[in-house]
Amino acid sequence: MDEFDLIQRLARTTAVPRADVVLGIGDDAALLAPARGKLLAVAMDTLVEGVHFPVGTAADAIGWKALAVNLSDLAAMGAEPAWATLALTLPRAESAWLASFARGFVRLARRHRVALVGGDTTRGPLTVTVQVHGFVPKREAITRSGARVGDAVYVSGTPGDAAAGLALRMAAHGRRQRDPAGNRERLVARLEYPAPRVGLGLALRGVASAAVDVSDGLLQDLGHVTEGSGVGAHIDAAALPLSRALTAVCDDAAQCLRHALTGGDDYELAFTVPPRRERLLAQRVAPLGVRLTRIGEIVAGRGVRVDGAPAVLAAAGGWRHFRSEPRG
Ligand SMILES: [Mg+2]
């Protein structure tokens, strides 16, 4: 495979037949039939080698993650994914690398029935840009601005795992490490193969008052919700769901907490739910098998505050909102 037929090959191998793709790859532009009566949700994210993923990351993982981070944004809006476009910049064309990249991308595209409808390849430093398109009924889109005082704050999964995975990966410098309990493998997988919460995002339609995906760290991303909604949030540190793998590799409780609150790359959803809808939330989510944890409450005021010792967190990245007392 050379880089110039990569997009065509990818489109063929995704083999996601969709009635709303009138004309896919192969002409000057794709022709798509947007769903009637729904809003088109569009998101785009770029991953740069050495910035968004470590140099030496497997091509399969890069292909997966480039799509995953975008599907995560659609999930946070309650949108159902439909189409994607891909722009790939490569230093050189290695067919083994390209085949591996394609495998990762296609595996996730198939899982969520996403059709690749266009793209481009160029020469340069390794950079992957994906744009995704999805649909959400007009009044059911979930934004960052709907949180109200008294709403419960939830997070899916176990935040902090990806940050711990990154720390382990960087510390190893590519050497194989002993990993008898599989914790290292589990955490690195959470970094490299995040599972976008697409099903959860759909289940949150008509339930969540606001949502965001956790890409830059729980505190920072929740800060976007409090800012967007003009409210504050109180997070109960003791309620944070820490995975067994995370607690096993942390030096101490403070480091665990730091990963969970400020670590990025988890691609979980953080969202708010009015108390009267919490039972509905439990019913909707039960069949999905996604772990949800109530970690706090929306309060009057500004910014996100965490119960406990702020000093240990101040040193880490992504703590801006944590530090912020009411901002002017
Ligand atoms: Mg996002």
141 CA to centre of ligand 1 in angstroms: 14
Q: How far is the CA of 201 from the centre of ligand 1 (A)?
A: 12
Among candidate residues 153, 294, 287, the one with its CA nearest the CA of residue 212: 153
Instruction: Using the mean position of ligand 1's atoms as its centre, give its distance from the Cα of residue 87 in Å.
Output: 19
Between the CA of 213 and the centroid of ligand 1 the distance, in Å, is 5
Give 237 Cα–ligand 1 centroid separation in angstroms: 23
**Rounded to the nearest whole angstrom, what is the distance from the C-alpha of residue 45 to the centroid of ligand 1?**
9
- Burial of 219 per CB tally in 10 Å (0-12, 13-18, 19+): buried
* Three state DSSP letters for 51-108: CCECCCCCHHHHHHHHHHHHHHHHHHHCCEEEEEEEEEEECCCCHHHHHHHHHHHHHH
CA of 225 to the centre of ligand 1 (A): 11
pLDDT tens track for 75-101 = 999 999 999 999 999 998 888 898 899
pTM of the entire structure?
0.91
- Ligand 1 centre and the CA of 223: distance in Å? 12
CA of 283 to the centre of ligand 1 (A): 26
pLDDT tens, 42-79? 999 999 999 899 998 999 999 999 999 999 999 999 99
pLDDT in tens, 247-280: 999 988 888 999 999 999 999 999 999 999 999 9
Q: How far is the CA of 215 from the centre of ligand 1 (A)?
A: 6
